[in-house]
């Protein structure tokens, strides 16, 4: 009974005030190694301040920014079956060793596909937003060597949460 009361008191309701969408385009090079992780870094526009202004809230009202959904897609209808593991991180632009996982899928199921829906992770990324940009790192592991350059797009959605 005490445990239940503690859980009830510890749970707070959260409200997503608005969503922030970000998209980055990258290229998976042909001949990428299947034994190593391919890391691609790209800065992406992250219209956080624009959304604050649009919804009439201040940064102080936002407790955290959390991952909600993401899709890794082939821009030119190329098959992504060669992708085995996807991990998306946000990286501190001032300290490239400081990063947090925001989306993942391990292992990606076998089969022909042009889109992979990723699972969100829990970390708050608010401190990683700098001048309405975020540095994204996509780490990929392959089940077979890609035979041609593959243009990919990562479409992400984050929720601005107020408690």
pLDDT at position 123 is 94
The number of distinct structural domains making up the chain is 1
pLDDT in tens, 4-39: 444 444 444 567 899 999 999 999 999 999 999 999
Q: Can you give the pTM of this predicted structure?
A: 0.88
Would residue 1 count as lying in a domain? no
Would residue 8 count as lying in a domain? no
pLDDT in tens, 93-141: 999 999 999 999 999 999 999 999 999 999 999 999 999 999 999 999 9
DSSP string, the chain: -HHHHHHHHH----EEEEEEEEEEEEEEPTT--SSS-EEEEEEEE--HHHHHHHHT--GGG--EEEEEEEEEEETTS---TTEEEEEEEEEETTEEEEEEEEEEESSPPSS--SEEEEEE---B-GGG-BTTEEEEEEEEEESS--SS-EEEEEEEEEEEEE-
Domain that holds residue 43: 14-162
């Amino acid at each position: 009974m005490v445990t239940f009361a503690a859980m009830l008191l510890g749970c707070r309701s959260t409200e997503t005030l608005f969503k922030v969408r970000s998209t980055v385009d990258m290229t998976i090079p042909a001949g990428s190694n299947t034994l190593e992780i391919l890391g691609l870094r790209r800065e992406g526009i992250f219209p956080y301040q624009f959304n604050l202004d649009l919804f009439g809230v201040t940064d102080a009202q936002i407790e955290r920014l959390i991952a909600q959904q993401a899709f890794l897609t082939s821009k030119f209808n190329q098959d992504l079956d060669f992708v085995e593991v996807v991990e998306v991180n946000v990286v501190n632009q001032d300290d490239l060793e400081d990063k947090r996982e925001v989306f993942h899928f391990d292992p990606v199921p076998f089969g022909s596909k042009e889109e992979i829906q990723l699972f969100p992770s829990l970390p708050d990324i608010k401190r990683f937003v700098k001048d309405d940009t975020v540095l994204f790192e996509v780490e990929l592991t392959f089940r077979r060597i890609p035979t041609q350059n593959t243009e990919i797009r990562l479409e992400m959605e984050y929720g601005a949460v107020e408690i």
